[in-house]
């Protein structure tokens, strides 16, 4: 399945980025102009969990973790998300009993299972609806580049395995805006996994006043009733499906075959038939992510094993620091 261009992750490949540089300058200029707009300042704290690159960095997992912690403190928190690939674009509260992934996007449904969630491109409009519904705190899944809502506190999430790729703005690279601009706005840089690309060293001059935190994603397999080791055919439509497959290996799952699909992919009848045929061939069960399961027909979800993903903080005080800084308006 087609994914992001390989040269986005190859800093030594210079010809294509050079040829695409004029377009990247236009994208960067548009982003910078948009970010100069002043956003609506909500009467409640707003925590933004965003990133710099296209593709998955683990934002939704971070948001789910922080939402649960806020709820444990008795804070009424509502999540705001664009609802990528969903049909609904106006501010709408997600109703898991009525909405599907095609309506609101897969990530919105995951968040709605944890707490009140609103979709809509205009985060200020969504925030106003959420506050009217009783929200005491708002948490944004993505939106670092969205200027419509003023952020109390911003967490910039970096995938340690890929960093910022080749460091170029779209389409010459994976960045949504110039890296230095986002780093200056971030209160915290949260590194997910080991820093394999040297991001912290390369951008150290821009991180002097930014708090650096570390966490890892941990794949959790459901307990299998079988005494023998269950073989699985694993499939995923994510920004980096290889990260999920590697997590399964670390969880000691017995994976006999992997199938990668594009991020937020809506599975077709033919795809499902192919997956079931592979499972039958290997005498295995199908295994996927919660995000992928939501995009499958409801009738077959119970026949597929779902491996959950949890966030393991490098220090137990890190998430509390983020929440206290958000709720009390203190900068890291």
Annotated binding residues, as ranges? 53-60
Calculate the CA 224 to chain-centre distance. 28
Distance (Å, whole) CA 257 – CA 273? 15
Cα dihedral 117→120→121→123 (10° resolution) = -50
Which tokens is 55 given?
Answer: 């593709």
* Among 288, 277, 178, residue whose Cα is nearest residue 232: 288
The reply to whether omega before 29 is within 30° of 0 (cis) is no
For 82, which DSSP code? -
CB 295 within 8 A of CB 266: yes
The annotated binding site for ATP is made up of 53-60
CB 219 within 8 A of CB 247: yes
Distance (Å, whole) CA 169 – CA 148? 22
């Amino acid at each position: 399945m087609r994914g992001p261009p390989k040269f986005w992750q190859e800093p030594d490949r210079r010809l294509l980025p050079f040829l695409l540089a004029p377009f990247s300058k236009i994208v960067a200029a548009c982003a910078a102009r948009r970010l100069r707009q002043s956003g609506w300042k909500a009467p409640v704290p707003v925590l933004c969990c965003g990133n710099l690159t296209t593709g998955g960095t683990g934002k939704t997992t971070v948001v789910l973790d922080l939402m649960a912690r806020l709820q444990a403190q008795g804070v009424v928190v509502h999540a705001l998300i664009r609802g990528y690939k969903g049909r609904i674009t106006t501010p709408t509260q997600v109703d898991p009993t009525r909405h599907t992934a095609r309506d609101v996007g897969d990530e919105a449904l995951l968040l709605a299972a944890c707490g009140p969630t609103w979709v809509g491109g205009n985060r200020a409009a969504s925030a106003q609806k959420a506050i009217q519904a009783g929200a005491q705190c708002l948490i944004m899944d993505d939106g670092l580049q969205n200027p419509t809502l003023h952020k109390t506190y911003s967490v910039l999430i970096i995938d340690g395995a890929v960093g910022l790729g080749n460091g170029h703005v779209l389409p010459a690279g994976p960045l949504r805006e110039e890296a230095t601009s986002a780093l200056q706005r971030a209160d915290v840089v949260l590194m997910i996994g080991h820093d394999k690309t040297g991001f912290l060293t390369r951008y150290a001059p821009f991180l002097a006043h930014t708090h650096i935190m570390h966490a890892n994603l941990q794949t959790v397999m459901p307990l299998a009733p079988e005494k023998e080791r269950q073989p699985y055919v694993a499939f995923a439509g994510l920004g980096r499906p290889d990260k999920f497959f590697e997590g399964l290996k670390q969880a000691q799952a017995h994976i006999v075959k992997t199938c990668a699909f594009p991020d937020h992919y809506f599975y077709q009848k033919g795809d499902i038939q192919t997956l079931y045929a592979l499972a039958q061939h290997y005498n295995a069960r199908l295994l996927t992510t919660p995000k992928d399961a939501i995009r499958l027909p409801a009738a077959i979800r119970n026949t597929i094993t779902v491996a959950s993903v949890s966030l393991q903080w490098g220090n137990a005080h890190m998430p509390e620091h983020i929440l206290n800084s958000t709720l009390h308006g203190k900068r890291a």
